[in-house]
């Protein structure tokens, strides 16, 4: 057995200099052959055996990774990933044939001009040892992978629930091989007799049924047979003469014969079924709808009739009919508004009678049709699933998680049980199932290291099956939860390489590239070639034309690169675009963030404690991070430095934008104003009044403070671009960025910050700010306490001696 070790290079990956490690990390993994068919990406390089991948930093730190993913044994699902239903054609949508994806990428995945030379290999003896270990690991891993065929088939699994009850046989079309196949030789004799069945619906039906029983390889060639076309023309001409059962038999035969969705025979069948639908039984209507699904034909008119019929006969629906209907609703990607309440009632009625597969099918149908569901119903579903999770198939469980994510349901018993059950299943789940599991955790802000570590371990060997969407969601989820797994370099390098392979897909789905790059930025990773591509003018224009709101993501990415990657030399966002995005962010903050009671209260108390509104500023120091800061500046001796010579934003907006002044909010704003003050407060108030008498306000501070105050005043002038980073602190000055946090800044029921807020605090420190937390678990309870307690807490936070020691 010959073994070839190949060396490949991957694009440069920047890690922010201040936060990267200088240690070498080397991981050795088995290498084995991997056959790969990327039908949606012709021309993609084979990703079988790969060896050393060296990552270059913007500030090189002698950082090297050995990347050697194991082979991925292709099962049924692996060879049919292009049939994924999430992006497949919907029954109820107008059919459009997607154009062939361009194989040529916008820029090469690796460029010898930008990549560092391969480092010298280890000594010969060590090299031989490593080679032997690699070969042995490859052999053992290959054998193990052969036994781990993926069980998730994206085309068949959505219909797995139909195998649970015999009643589904009359409601669904079985697209498997016929029970009594005919020999291939009979095909010609059947077609030779087509002329004899002219005008005879029964004979035509018999011909279709017999042809559908031929072997698969013989059926595949019928589409090009003129005699088969003649049979189809006979059926079209006699379409009104068929009985309903015979017409259904013809349609079911078309499924086995793989008749194309746009075939004229199917046009005639659809029109005829729509014409006679109100005279059919519900069982027949559901069966025909299932046939259309198997044929992947869009039939919006037929579905509208079916839903209206079901609405009128709702009380007659049996449990299997209800589940089949919800399945059809999901495959049609549309939710009939008049059925929403009835669907919820039926779920509650049959909840204890559903099989676990049926429960998964219902959740998938609701998720695909974007159907709203009440918290009560979703919690009841989650209650049952959490008790029987071990008996549930992974596919059905993933469908429940999709709906849990859609409804934003934080069902703790289910999530805890999931952490026990799912890690050992991860190796046998297909890549899209793993993506949905991971995305559930990040969407619900729920951190479970065991699950994430299992995902990270399994992913590199399956990464070649990732669509651009899948790779982006993995990067986003891990970045959102600020988690870097033990195999972080293998994990991230494999996903970044897959992003390069799928680059052509981002022309159609630009949102996925921004999602991926933001997820990487959260964990201090900046692949500069991908960033350069994302900030190109033509790509920026694509994002602005997207159906999604991507301006905030562009702004966050562009400004993060500007702050954390000073040596980056690629494309950047135009200044006028940054200003436009910053003004949008500031406008939102003035209406929604600055006026929150917990922030207004903190601002008011700080003004009182420090000496006036010029000593504290409620604003967004970094508008691209989408949350506010209370900025305070201190001199070395601990005296506050005045710098905000505009009227307070929060007070102005409370007056101007019409915020409802409730009794509670008024109490928070005015509580204690007319009562006695501490000596410090009196002194501060006196100092404020003296400052108002003239222009010599800065004389009350040290010389350094005066300079800083003057500079801050200049910074506040209208000519300064809202999106520009603030200037660095002056010598002898400490700039505090107080963070009034809330639960949405942290992982669920924990004190672990989410990725965006980690990024913000990291960038504030990079710009010289000292980040001071007012965590919600401390500040929110204090809002109900006395004024003196709140002032004491803020005094402790602001005048911490450790903060002053950072001056100079």
- pLDDT 10s digits, 377-394: 999 999 999 999 999 999
Q: Which residues contact 617 (CB under 8 A, 6 or more apart)?
A: 630, 631, 643, 644, 649
Residue closest to 161 by CA, chosen among 149, 148, 171: 171
CA distances (Å), 696 to each of 123, 570, 671, 691, in order? 72, 46, 32, 7
Residue closest to 180 by CA, chosen among 218, 217, 210: 210
**Structural contact between residues 621 and 688, judged by C-beta atoms closer than 8 angstroms:** no
Which range among 133-147, 419-433, 594-608 shows the weakest confidence by mean pLDDT? Answer: 133-147
- Looking at residue 624, its pLDDT comes to 94
- Looking at residue 730, its pLDDT comes to 75
- Looking at residue 196, its pLDDT comes to 64
Indicate the pLDDT class of residue 179, thresholds 50, 70 and 90.
Answer: low
Q: Residue 537 and residue 320: Cα distance in Å, rounded? A: 53
- Secondary structure of 95-144 in HEC code, one letter for each residue: CCCCCCCCCCCCCCCCCCCCCCCCCCCCCHHHHHHHHHHHHHHHHHHHHH
How large is the C-alpha radius of gyration of the chain? 32
- Looking at residue 678, its pLDDT comes to 43
Average pLDDT over residues 446-452: 96
**How open is the CA angle 156-159-164, to the nearest 5 degrees?**
125
When mean pLDDT is compared over 142-151, 247-256, 473-482, 576-585, the highest value belongs to 473-482
Percent over 90 (pLDDT), the chain: 53
Asked if residue 613 belongs to a domain, the reply is: yes
Among 253, 280, 307, the domain-final residue is 280
Pure H helices in 147-225: 186-192, 201-211, 216-220
Q: Integer distance in angstroms from the first to the last C-alpha of the chain?
A: 66
Whether pLDDT at 746 is above 90: yes
Whether pLDDT at 243 is above 60: yes
Residue closest to 555 by CA, chosen among 594, 518, 506: 518
User: In whole angstroms, what separates CA 625 from the centre of its chain?
Assistant: 19
Q: Which residues contact 746 (CB under 8 A, 6 or more apart)?
A: 445, 752, 753, 754, 757, 776
Indicate the pLDDT class of residue 42, thresholds 50, 70 and 90.
Answer: very low
Asked if residue 499 belongs to a domain, the reply is: no
Position with higher pLDDT, 442 vs 89:
442
Position with higher pLDDT, 102 vs 539:
539
> Does residue 370 come out as left (phi exceeding 0), alpha (psi in the -120 to 50 range) or beta?
left
- Looking at residue 13, its pLDDT comes to 52
Asked if residue 797 belongs to a domain, the reply is: yes
Indicate the pLDDT class of residue 63, thresholds 50, 70 and 90.
Answer: very low
Asked if residue 773 belongs to a domain, the reply is: yes
Indicate the pLDDT class of residue 645, thresholds 50, 70 and 90.
Answer: confident
What is the domain extent for residue 217? 164-280
Position with higher pLDDT, 225 vs 367:
367
Q: Which tokens belong to 303?
A: 């579905």
**Structural contact between residues 371 and 342, judged by C-beta atoms closer than 8 angstroms:** no
- Looking at residue 807, its pLDDT comes to 53
Indicate the pLDDT class of residue 185, thresholds 50, 70 and 90.
Answer: confident
Whether pLDDT at 544 is above 70: yes
Q: What is the pLDDT of residues 748-762, one digit of tens each?
A: 989 999 999 999 999
Q: Residue 636 and residue 615: Cα distance in Å, rounded? A: 15
Asked if residue 439 belongs to a domain, the reply is: no
- Looking at residue 199, its pLDDT comes to 66
- Looking at residue 627, its pLDDT comes to 92
Q: Residue 503 and residue 500: Cα distance in Å, rounded? A: 5
Asked if residue 519 belongs to a domain, the reply is: no
Q: Which helix (H) or strand (E) holds 379?
A: helix 375-388
* Mean pLDDT score of the chain: 76
Q: Residue 712 and residue 172: Cα distance in Å, rounded? A: 72
Position with higher pLDDT, 466 vs 673:
466
Whether pLDDT at 172 is above 70: yes
Q: What is the pLDDT of residues 154-170, one digit of tens each?
A: 444 678 898 889 999 99
Whether pLDDT at 449 is above 50: yes
Which range among 117-121, 132-136, 233-237, 437-441 shows the weakest confidence by mean pLDDT? Answer: 117-121
Q: Residue 221 and residue 413: Cα distance in Å, rounded? A: 54
- Looking at residue 521, its pLDDT comes to 97
Report if pTM > 0.95: no
Indicate the pLDDT class of residue 250, thresholds 50, 70 and 90.
Answer: very high
DSSP 8-state assignment for residue 753:
B
Asked if residue 226 belongs to a domain, the reply is: yes
Percent over 70 (pLDDT), the chain: 69
Whether pLDDT at 722 is above 60: no
- Looking at residue 723, its pLDDT comes to 60
Among 214, 246, 280, the domain-final residue is 280
Question: How many distinct structural domains can be found in the chain?
Answer: 2
- Looking at residue 641, its pLDDT comes to 92
- Looking at residue 724, its pLDDT comes to 66
Q: What is the pLDDT of residues 187-198, one digit of tens each?
A: 777 887 776 667
Average pLDDT over residues 195-215: 82
Average pLDDT over residues 201-217: 87
Q: What is the pLDDT of residues 310-357, one digit of tens each?
A: 999 999 999 999 999 999 999 988 888 888 899 999 999 999 999 999
Q: What is the pLDDT of residues 674-710, one digit of tens each?
A: 333 343 443 344 344 334 433 333 333 333 333 333 3
Among 219, 253, 280, the domain-final residue is 280
Asked if residue 195 belongs to a domain, the reply is: yes
């Amino acid at each position: 057995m010959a073994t070839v070790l190949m060396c490949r290079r991957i694009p440069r990956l920047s890690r922010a200099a201040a936060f990267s490690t200088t240690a070498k990390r080397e991981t050795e993994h088995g290498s084995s052959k991997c056959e790969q068919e990327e039908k949606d990406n012709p021309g993609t390089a084979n990703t079988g055996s790969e060896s050393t991948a060296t990552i270059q930093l913007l500030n090189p730190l002698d950082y090297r990774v050995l990347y050697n993913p194991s082979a991925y044994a292709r099962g049924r699902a692996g060879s049919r990933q292009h049939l994924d239903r999430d992006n497949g054609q919907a029954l109820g949508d107008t059919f459009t044939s997607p154009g062939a994806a361009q194989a040529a990428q916008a820029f090469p995945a690796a460029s010898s001009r930008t990549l560092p030379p391969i480092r010298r290999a280890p000594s010969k003896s060590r090299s031989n040892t490593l080679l032997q270990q690699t070969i042995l690991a490859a052999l053992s891993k290959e054998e193990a992978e052969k036994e781990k065929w993926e069980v998730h088939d994206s085309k068949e699994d959505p219909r797995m629930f139909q195998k649970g009850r015999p009643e589904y046989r009359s409601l669904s079309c079985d697209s498997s091989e016929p029970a009594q196949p005919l020999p291939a030789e009979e095909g010609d004799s059947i077609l030779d007799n087509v002329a004899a069945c002219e005008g005879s619906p029964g004979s035509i039906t018999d011909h279709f049924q017999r042809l559908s029983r031929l072997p698969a390889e013989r059926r595949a060639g019928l589409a090009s047979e003129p005699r088969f076309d003649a049979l189809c023309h006979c059926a079209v001409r006699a379409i009104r003469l068929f009985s309903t059962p015979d017409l259904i038999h013809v349609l079911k035969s078309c499924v086995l014969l793989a008749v194309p969705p746009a075939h004229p025979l199917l046009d005639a069948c659809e029109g005829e079924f729509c014409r006679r639908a109100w005279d059919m039984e519900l069982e027949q209507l559901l069966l025909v709808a299932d046939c259309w699904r198997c044929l992947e034909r869009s039939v919006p008119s037929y579905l509208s009739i079916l839903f209206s019929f079901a609405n009128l006969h709702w009380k007659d629906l049996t449990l299997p009919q209800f589940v089949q209907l919800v399945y059809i609703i999901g495959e049609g990607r549309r939710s009939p508004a008049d059925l929403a309440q009835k669907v919820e009632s039926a779920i509650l009625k049959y909840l204890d009678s559903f099989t676990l597969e049926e429960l998964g099918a219902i959740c998938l149908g609701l998720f695909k049709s974007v159907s709203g569901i009440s918290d009560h119903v979703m919690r009841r579903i989650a209650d049952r699933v959490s008790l029987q999770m071990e008996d549930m198939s992974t596919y059905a469980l993933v469908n429940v998680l999709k709906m849990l994510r859609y409804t934003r349901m934080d069902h703790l018993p289910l999530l805890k049980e999931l952490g026990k059950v799912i890690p050992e299943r991860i190796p046998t789940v297909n890549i899209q199932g793993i993506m949905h599991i991971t995305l559930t955790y990040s969407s619900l802000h729920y951190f479970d290291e065991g699950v994430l570590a299992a995902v990270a371990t399994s992913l590199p060997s399956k990464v070649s099956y990732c669509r651009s969407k899948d790779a982006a969601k993995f990067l986003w989820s891990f970045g959102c939860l600020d988690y870097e797994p033990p195999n972080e370099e293998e994990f991230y390098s494999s996903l970044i390489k897959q992003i390069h392979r799928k680059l052509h897909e981002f022309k159609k789905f630009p949102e996925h590239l921004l999602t991926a790059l933001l997820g990487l930025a959260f964990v201090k990773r900046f692949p500069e070639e991908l960033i350069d591509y994302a900030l190109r003018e033509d790509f920026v224009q694509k994002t602005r034309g997207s159906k999604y709101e991507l301006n905030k993501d562009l702004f966050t990415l562009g400004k993060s690169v500007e702050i954390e990657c000073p040596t980056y030399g690629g494309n950047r966002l135009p200044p006028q675009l940054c200003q436009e995005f910053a003004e949008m962010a500031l406008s939102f903050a003035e209406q929604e963030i600055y006026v929150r009671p917990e922030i207004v209260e903190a601002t008011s108390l700080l003004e009182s404690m420090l000496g006036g509104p010029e000593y504290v500023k409620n604003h967004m120091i970094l508008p691209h991070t989408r949350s506010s800061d209370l900025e305070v500046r201190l001199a070395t001796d601990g005296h506050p430095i005045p710098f905000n010579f505009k009227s307070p934003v929060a007070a102005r907006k409370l007056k101007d934008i019409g915020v409802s002044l409730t009794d509670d909010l008024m109490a928070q704003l005015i509580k204690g104003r007319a009562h006695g003050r501490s000596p410090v407060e009196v002194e501060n108030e006196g100092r404020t009044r003296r400052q108002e008498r003239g222009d010599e306000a800065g004389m009350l501070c040290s010389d350094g403070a005066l300079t800083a105050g003057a500079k801050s005043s200049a910074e506040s002038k209208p000519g300064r671009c809202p999106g520009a980073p603030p200037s660095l602190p002056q010598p002898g000055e400490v700039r505090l960025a107080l963070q009034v946090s809330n639960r949405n800044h942290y992982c669920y029921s924990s004190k672990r910050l989410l990725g965006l807020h980690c990024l913000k605090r990291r960038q504030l420190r990079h710009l010289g700010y000292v980040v001071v937390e007012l965590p919600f678990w401390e500040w929110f309870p204090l809002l109900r306490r006395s004024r003196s307690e709140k002032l004491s807490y803020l005094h402790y936070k602001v005048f911490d001696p450790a903060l002053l020691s950072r001056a100079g």
